[in-house]
Amino acid sequence: MSNSLKGLTQDEVIRSREQYGANLLTPPKRKSLWRLFIEKFNDPVIRILLVAAVLSLGIGFIHNEFAEAIGIFCAIFLATGVAFWFEYDAMKKFDVLNSTNDDTPVKAVRDGAVAEIPKKEVVVGDIVLLESGEEVPADGILQEAVSLKINESTLTGEPQIGKTTDPAHFDKESTYPSDHVMRGTTVVEGHGVMQVTAVGDATEFGKVAEQATVESNEETPLNLQLQRLSKLIGRVGISLAIVTFAALIVKGMLTGDLLTADWLTVATEVLQYFMVAVTLIVVAVPEGLPMSVTLSLAVNMRRMLRTNNLVRKMHASETMGAITVICTDKTGTLTRNEMRVYETKFSEDGIDPLIREGIAANSTAFLDANGKVIGNPTEGALLLWLKDRSADYAALRDAAETVDQMTFTTERKFMATLVDSASGKRILYIKGAPEIILAKCAGFGAKAEVEKQLSAYQNMAMRTLGFAYAVCDGVDTCDEALERCPLHFIGIAAISDPVRDDVPAAVAECLSAGIDVKIVTGDTPATAKEIGRQIGLWTAEDTDRNHISGSEFAALSDEELLERVQSLKIMSRARPLDKQRLVRLLQQKGEVVAVTGDGTNDAPALNFAQVGLSMGTGTSVAKEASDITLLDDSFSSIATAVMWGRSLYRNIQRFVLFQLTINFVAIIIVLFGSIFGSELPLTVTQMLWVNLIMDTFAALALASLPPSRSVMREKPRKNSDFIISRPMMRSIVGVGLLFVAVLLGILYYFGSAITIYELSAFFTVFVMLQFWNMFNAKGFGTTTPIWKAVGGCAPFFGVLLLILAGQFIIVTWGGNVFRTVPLSGCDWLTIIGATSLVMWGGELTRALSSRRRHTTK
């Protein structure tokens, strides 16, 4: 490796490439479509459904009746197919990921001469020249730096970092050393010479991009709860099957059927008992649950897109409802990522033309046709300030002919421009660090007052600039003007990256919803705390325990950090992998973590969090690592996503409540029918309608219910919470037993010789009980009467009409296929009116519950 600015020879280039590799990033692995589809079968309920389908298929071969098995397989493939399609569709939207342009020309010194080479051919040891506007091609150490400022936002979130080779001016608090430049960052102004120290995957950018593509095995809260539900269903189904099989064996022995018959008859009877037991397992499995979850997630994906949340991974839309912590970056998420003048304090109103001309002429920045800043963001903020006051900076700059200019340097801390003013005088304009400008204005008398104001601005983490001018006729250089001409202090300006208007309210909503918000930024502690104060996160009661710097964070062990990680509110001067480590530690404490970010530095944390939220204007690496993209870059969209997620979880609970009530009733009826000798008066095709078609309709109805802001007044659910809450369990058992009593009472009323007409009426009562119970499922978790909660529920009522129409068609024209005959109009009205008591009873129960809650308060 050569340390000379003469650069590498061709032989050294070859050796370096062999030793350290090419300057290329390993592309992220993409899942094949087949793998994407197979993953859908990892759903715990889908797995138990597969077992039920195989068992049902076995029964089908014995009885030559495959309708039930076909129905379950249809439910499985419909649920997995819908999930696959929506994730594939979302993945296509994210395939706009920008590939790194490895052929971008880079100026490097080779064999003592400057040559342009493609970025991918840069090797360790190369000497590379950096100019304003160019992207740094690899990691390296600066050999020369002239007024060099680097935009490190892709790695640290900070849009402007001064770089120097002078150790006396190194920023000890900076995320990366002041003489280091990193791949993927860009030169804002000035120029420099670097020697490459790392290329490709070995660069900081490469390490971050690699972590962004590592697969995280973190389970979603919903998946964990569905696993518990599937285990419960499996245990209950198997237990009931064993009890039923044993009861039937005992019954057969008591009646003598198994004791007196020949062995072939006994074997046949035992096989029948086994089939009944297996049927109980099949009945216990909620075929419609995977479809309900899938449809709910799919509907949420589409609806969230309208609220500027582009969901890439289906379960992320629900997981947002379970998050307990949001780790957010600062620049571009909480703030606008646009430097603006916060306030000015100019001392002499009569010199307004000089102020305007000085800002326009003593600047290296520009505004494009759309008002976007080109060049230094701080200087651009001053031009935007002029624009807001209807001043044309370009016309002012053209009218003042530049005679000489002195650029800003880290050592000098000011810039100056000598112009032939539009007023006819030769004027020196100077701006820079206020303390330096004040020191040069010897005759200024209000120095103490200005310093007090500066201290106030700096306590608010704002950048400050001082302005002065001097009339210098007969002087041709800035150096000469500074020596000979007395400077007059004009005033100061405070500049900041303002907080987005909607952020304080959105943060307040998240905090009131029991969600902790933590700022993780590459900025200084003072700036991070001030932004925290402005958004309502950092308060007067907070102490050093609530803040940590990146260097302190790296120095502590995981055990030490686990003791204070939940109390942290702000991490400043954070490096890219610090946020990922923070996420993992929070997850170890049982938190469900969402991460927001727009830079490559955020990608590892976005990938490992339960939900990664990238910004629409963020880097492609960040978007690829995320689960949801906020198209409007707005933090308020996060609060909206939380509301959607919580409402979705409630909708899933509503369907579980509805579905398990049906299954509970069906199990009891089958159990009683098999043990006490009477056959279940519902055919396989009728059960297929109840357990599959109606369940799918119910999934559509309950998945389509609109979100409610009321969920934001609740605390996040715990990972340990079961999807079936105590109120749900009471409702399932209570309503289920009531339905069983009604149905057995009807069978008792009909007597032993039941006609097909009576069986058709029984079938209709069974369906209409579930029909009206759907209203109770809709009202679960609320105290609002049905007639006051119809807004946005048109799909729900539309599905109900479909169910009612479907039942009428089946009963009227089902014939032998469904074992039905048409019912009279009077009987229809009687059945509908009588079973509607289920809904009115639910309304009364909710009203009394609401009244008790109100009285308690």
| Tokens of residue 667, six digits | 């199990």
The CA distance from 492 to 789, in Å, is 57
| Tokens of residue 66, six digits | 């495959």
Torsion angle, alpha carbons of 575, 581, 583, 585, to 10: -140
Query: Is residue 488 within a helix (H) or strand (E), and if so which, with residue range?
Result: strand 488-496
The CA distance from 138 to 120, in Å, is 10
Q: Is the separation of the CB atoms in 128 and 110 below 8 Å?
A: no
Within 10 angstroms of residue 852's Cβ, the number of other Cβ atoms is 10
Q: Considering only CA atoms, which of 283, 281, 257, 254 is closest in space to residue 270?
A: 257
Within 10 angstroms of residue 74's Cβ, the number of other Cβ atoms is 16
Residue with tokens 């994210």: 94
The CA distance from 88 to 310, in Å, is 13
DSSP 610: S
List strand residue ranges (DSSP E) for 312-351, in order. Answer: 325-328, 340-346
Query: 581 in the Ramachandran plot: left (φ > 0), alpha (ψ -120 to 50) or beta?
Result: alpha
Point out the catalytic residue in the list 329, 516, 523, 602: 329
Q: Considering only CA atoms, which of 495, 485, 459, 479 is closest in space to residue 359?
A: 495
| Tokens of residue 478, six digits | 């800035």
Rounded to a whole number of angstroms, the distance between the first and last alpha carbons of the chain is 76
Q: Is the separation of the CB atoms in 193 and 128 below 8 Å?
A: yes
Write the CB contacts of 18 (distance below 8 Å, at least 6 apart in sequence).
Answer: none
Write the CB contacts of 149 (distance below 8 Å, at least 6 apart in sequence).
Answer: 160, 161, 162, 163, 187, 188, 189, 190, 376
- 476 tagged catalytic: no
Helices (H), 589-725: 603-608, 620-625, 636-675, 684-688, 694-703
Q: Residues 173, 176, 177, 179: is their CA dihedral positive or negative?
A: negative
User: If you compute the radius of gyration of the chain from its CA atoms, what whole number of angstroms results?
Assistant: 36
| Tokens of residue 632, six digits | 């409007």
* Residues with active-site annotation: 329
